Structure 1
Amino acid sequence: MMEMKVLGCALLFPLQIFLCLLRAIVRFFTRQKRRDLGTDVVLITGGGRGIGRHLAKEFAEQGARKVVLWGRTEKCLKETCEEISMTGTECHYFVCDVGNREEVYQQAKVLREKVGDVTILVNNAAVVHGKSLMDSDDDALLKTQHINTLGQFWTTKAFLPRMLELCNGHVVCINSILSLSSIPGAIDYCTSKASSYAFMESLTLGLLDCPGVGCTTVLPFHTDTEMFQGMRVRFPKLFPPLNPEMVAERTVDAVRTNTAFVVLPWTMHFLVILKRWDNHC
């Protein structure tokens, strides 16, 4: 029985690779209709630096009507906001810690009053402590869960109902490939990202019958940003860090084409398939 199961997995593996490649080729050569961002108000959490900053610039470049930034460091938010405003796109920022539930709901109310209804929510804020489970104190572990997981729950709860009323909205999650393939030494981060992935997967399925409202989950490998400084991989030449500008470009394009899941780089599909194959066999 075990030999038959192993044989079945071995036969299925190349088929899975072929299907992933086929989907990628079809999407590459097929011109898809893209969403016009001219009427959208885009909120980006963690928008003052890193990928969030590049996302703000890309949404503005692609024609978003208004860009709103949330984050914990006013200096970074102000600098990014000024940079976006200089391009001619209306931009606002609010200091908000998404790990604080009451602060999220309060700032959501202020945002609606001052800027208007959010139609694209980008949950990008995240933290990495870079410590082992035994070296992390309980407060640090809770902070990771609050920002990486619960913060996404609270922001979605704050803005999704109005999107459903308007039949116009999109919820985006900048997740991580580590949500599908964990590594040692980052238990709190991998756990929080796996929970975030499950949340988005369930939300995406739940919104299939809701016209005008969609979801996008982006699963990048580690990026060349301040957040991942000092991170080491086993084969750095084979798996170099991603360019944050590219991640932002692919994310905005995924929103405009209503693509549910994006894995970056595409070669990470092999990692996911190999893990599933190993689990089954």
Structure 2
Amino acid sequence: MRPVPRWGSPRRPKERSRCLHSTWATGLGRFVYKLLLLRKLLSVKMIYLVAKAAVGLVLPAKLRDLSRENVLITGGGRGIGRQLAREFAARGARKIVLWGRTEKCLKETTEEIRQMGTECHYFICDVGNREEVYQTAKAVREKVGDITILVNNAAVVHGRSLMDSDDDALLKSQHINTLGQFWTTKAFLPRMLELQNGHIVCLNSVLALSAIPGAIDYCTSKASAFAFMESLTLGLLDCPGVSATTVLPFHTSTEMFQGMRVRFPNLFPPLKPETVARRTVEAVQLNQALLLLPWTMHALVILKSILPQAALEEIHKFSGTYTCMNTFKGRT
């Protein structure tokens, strides 16, 4: 005797196959429809955002009021850090806190800011030391109050090739330039999230996008810091009132990179610390996520994405960046 098929008559499996095919086709159709709808919505939103940015280039945007903001600047005793303190004070910041490792420089900058009429304090702190960062952050909260703008500016450069580098110096670069930003951000971001008011700023470098020989420690640490800020910025999208800014300046004329030489200084002049500080504070007031200085550095991003490696190497040699660290005399 023939066994009775599980699904009834011998023709039922075919019907079930057609039913499954129909269900699959319907599901696919719905998926395609949703995909097209989302693509249309994305296109509309992208057009709106591009148009908004274009209008912002023509019409002056409203700048954030800094009169209620407490600003902390690491590496604030000299160089770009000192100029940042001056710029924040000139734009009405309520209080300014400076961190650094050299008390003489910190004290001089603090006195200068106080003479401008802005309350200013300094603390000796090595941002590469995790426990020191957490302890000093606690002291800042007790003496000054909540920090609402954190500017991670502290950095060092060893200025050697890999094989000529001292191991301790390499570690120092990574601890200060990269890990230091982890510790300072972890120390101050939680309170910013509670207040729904805060801004994290990273003074990075264009070398994070285009490395050069002779500064392998600096380039590596800055590339890591850039990835840190990219991830942090995206992670703050759903955090009201808290945002981030990453600044990528070209070579800046400070003693940190003293002796560095490019082949065409008139074509690629070093930036002034005052310019970097001014544009950085403006970016904070405009809530700008990424700032490349000068604007011509945007071409670098485009070239790196379309040119073969051999062509990029020729550009490095032609521009002099291939040998620019040969005359380096900067400080660490």
What is the TM-score when the length of structure 2 is the normalising length? Answer: 0.76
**Alpha-carbon offset, residue 28 of structure 1:** 3.0
- Which residue does 1:257 correspond to in 2? 286
Aligned residue in 2 for 1:13: none
Deviations 1:165-205 (A, max 9, x none): 00000000000001011111211111100000000001001
Structure 1 residue 33 displacement after superposition: 1.8
1:108 aligns with 2:157: no
Partner residue of 1:173? Answer: 202
Aligned to 2:307, the other structure's residue is in SS state: helix
Work out whether 1:153 is the aligned partner of 2:182.
yes
In structure 1, C-alpha distance between the alignment counterparts of 2:179 and 2:169, rounded to whole Å: 14
State the 1:30 CA deviation. Answer: 2.3
1:198 is matched with 227
Q: CA deviation at 1:262?
A: 0.2
Q: Which amino acid aligns with 1:215?
A: A
> In the alignment, what sits opposite 2:77?
48
Alpha-carbon distance in structure 1 between the residues aligned to 2:265 and 2:116: 36
SS in structure 2 at match of 1:81: helix
Determine the C-alpha separation between the residues in 1 that align with 2:263 and 2:249. 17
Letter in 2 for 1:206: G
Please give the alpha-carbon distance, in whole angstroms, between the structure 1 residues aligned to 2:52 and 2:216.
32
Question: If you compute each CA radius of gyration, which structure gives the higher value, 1 or 2?
Answer: 2
The equivalent of 2:242 in structure 1 is: 213
Structure-2 change in CA distance of 1:37 and 1:135 (3 Å): same
Counterpart Cα distance in 2 of 1:24 and 1:52: 29
> Shift of the alpha carbon at 1:24?
8.0
The match for 1:125 is: 154
Change beyond 3 A, Cα 1:231–1:25:
farther
Q: Which residue of 1 aligns with 2:168?
A: 139
Amino acid at match of 2:290: F
Give the CA RMSD over aligned residues.
Answer: 1.7
Distance in 1 separating the partners of 2:128 and 2:206:
22
Q: Which residue of 2 is the match for residue 187 of structure 1?
A: 216
Match of 2:321 in 1: none
* Equivalent in the alignment of 1:269: 298
TM alignment of 1:28-39, pairs within 5 A:
28-39=57-68
Which of 91, 101, 118 is the equivalent residue of 1:72?
101
How many residues align? The count is 261
Identity %: 77
Matched, 1:245 2:249: no
SS for the counterpart of 2:146 is coil
**What letter matches 1:255 in structure 2?**
V
| CA displacement, residues 30-52 of structure 1 (integer Å, 9 cap, x when unaligned) | 22121110110000000000000
Shift in alpha-carbon separation, 1:27–1:185, aligned structure 2, 3 A = farther
Q: Please give the alpha-carbon distance, in whole angstroms, between the structure 1 residues aligned to 2:208 and 2:218.
A: 9
Q: What SS does the corresponding residue of 1:42 show, helix, strand or coil?
A: strand
Deviation at 1:244, TM superposition (A): 0.6
Secondary structure in 1 matching 2:292: strand
Counterpart Cα distance in 1 of 2:163 and 2:55: 46
Please tell me the residue identity of whatever aligns with 1:205: L
Q: Residue in 1 aligned with 2:256? A: 227
Deviation at 1:235, TM superposition (A): 2.2
Secondary structure, in 3 states, of the residue corresponding to 2:238?
A: coil
Deviation of 1:26 (Å): 4.4
3-state SS of paired residue (1:224): coil
Of stretches 45-54 and 236-245 in structure 1, the one that deviates more from structure 2 is: 236-245
Q: Which runs of 5+ in 2 are unaligned?
A: 1-50, 312-332
TM-score of the aligned structures, taking structure 1 as reference length = 0.90
Is the CA contact (8 Å cut-off) linking 2:159 and 2:216 kept in structure 1?
no
SS in 1 for 2:234: helix
C-alpha distance in structure 1 between counterparts of 2:83 and 2:308, whole Å: 37
